[in-house]
Amino acid sequence: MTVVVFMERADDELSQQALTLARSLGGEVSAATVEGPYAPGAWAAAIVAAAGDADIVGPGSDRGNEVMAHVAAQLDLPLAANVTEVRGDELTRIRWGGTLLEEARLHAGRRLMTAAPFAFPLSVDSTQTLVLTPELGGAVAVVDHVAPDTGGKVSLADAKVVVSGGRGVGSAEGFAILEELAALLDAAVGCSRVVTSAGWRPHTDQVGQTGTKVSPDLYIACGISGATQHIAGCKGAKKLLAINADREATIFAHADYAVVGDLHEIVPAITAELRKAK
């Protein structure tokens, strides 16, 4: 049995986690990346052609899940997304934004799956990676490249530290103290959905199930209650510092460090201490 792993890039963390999942299946594993403009249907066709009758595994990223959904549609086979464990044709996978672990069985001759983010360690050793060039067939053409405007600041997805605010911040203006702390830490500012729904911050700043999924070294959650849909976006953080006025807040169950108090006092106090230390 052989397994082909679709990797977004050889150094991409979620792709390396997919490689670890593929290796846990047993058998020979080969890795493939796809070059050229993003066209999920065409990328899937290139992967299907290269894979022959092998099992196919992809990363649990937005692109990984989208390309693998096209792979499954083209092969008319079921896809198990966000898998955390495989036992033969039985598996466990994450559903509903992390609220449910589903035990499932794949009723197919081949296994198509994506690895749940951060459910597997990285495979960092060098695996020979095949580079596939898809046939775009004129359906897709790159007309322009527009880099996201981060105003010269580190982006949410790449930041090593994220300072995130929820309803507890109180207003759009209230984010000034989070911005100030973030600037000192070279951090990005994130927020909860309540904040984007209120129009205090743009949707691009939202962390969560329907926002960006972040995996910084440190996630500082200020005035965020810790709803499952928010945690789905920040559970990849190595450490979580929660600042909340309510000592019963759910966020504390996910926190490595906890401060019970008013964020309007705590955040400026942290900023002042950091300034002194610099």
Ligand X SMILES: Cc1cc2nc3c(=O)[nH]c(=O)nc-3n(C[C@H](O)[C@H](O)[C@H](O)COP(=O)(O)OP(=O)(O)OC[C@H]3O[C@@H](n4cnc5c(N)ncnc54)[C@H](O)[C@@H]3O)c2cc1C
Chain residues binding ligand X by CB under 6 A are 166-168, 192-194, 206, 208-211, 223-225, 227, 229-230, 233, 243-246, 249, 262-264
> Based on CB atoms, which residue is closest to ligand X, 99 or 133?
99
The CB-of-170 to ligand X minimum distance in angstroms stands at 7
> Based on CB atoms, which residue is closest to ligand X, 123 or 192?
192
The CB-of-165 to ligand X minimum distance in angstroms stands at 8
Question: What Rg do the C-alpha atoms of the chain give, in angstroms?
Answer: 21
Q: In angstroms, rounded to a whole number, what is the distance separating the alpha carbons of residues 234 and 164?
A: 10
The CB-of-194 to ligand X minimum distance in angstroms stands at 4
Strand partners, 103: 92
Which residue in the shown chain puts its C-beta closest to ligand X? 208
> Based on CB atoms, which residue is closest to ligand X, 64 or 223?
223
Q: In angstroms, rounded to a whole number, what is the distance separating the alpha carbons of residues 190 and 177?
A: 13
> Based on CB atoms, which residue is closest to ligand X, 129 or 204?
204
> Based on CB atoms, which residue is closest to ligand X, 117 or 134?
117
Kindly provide the b/e burial profile for residues 150-183, where b requires at least 16 CB atoms within 10 angstroms of the residue's own CB.
Answer: eeeebebeebebbbbbbbbbeeeebbebbeebbe
Q: What is the helix (H) or strand (E) element at residue 83, kind and residue range?
A: strand 80-87
The contacts of residue 144 (CB under 8 Å, 6+ apart) are none
> Based on CB atoms, which residue is closest to ligand X, 36 or 98?
98
> Based on CB atoms, which residue is closest to ligand X, 19 or 242?
242
Q: In angstroms, rounded to a whole number, what is the distance separating the alpha carbons of residues 208 and 182?
A: 19
User: Are 221 and 204 contacting, i.e. CB atoms less than 8 angstroms apart?
Assistant: no
Nearest to 33, CA basis, from 56, 6, 71, 65 = 6
User: Are 263 and 243 contacting, i.e. CB atoms less than 8 angstroms apart?
Assistant: yes
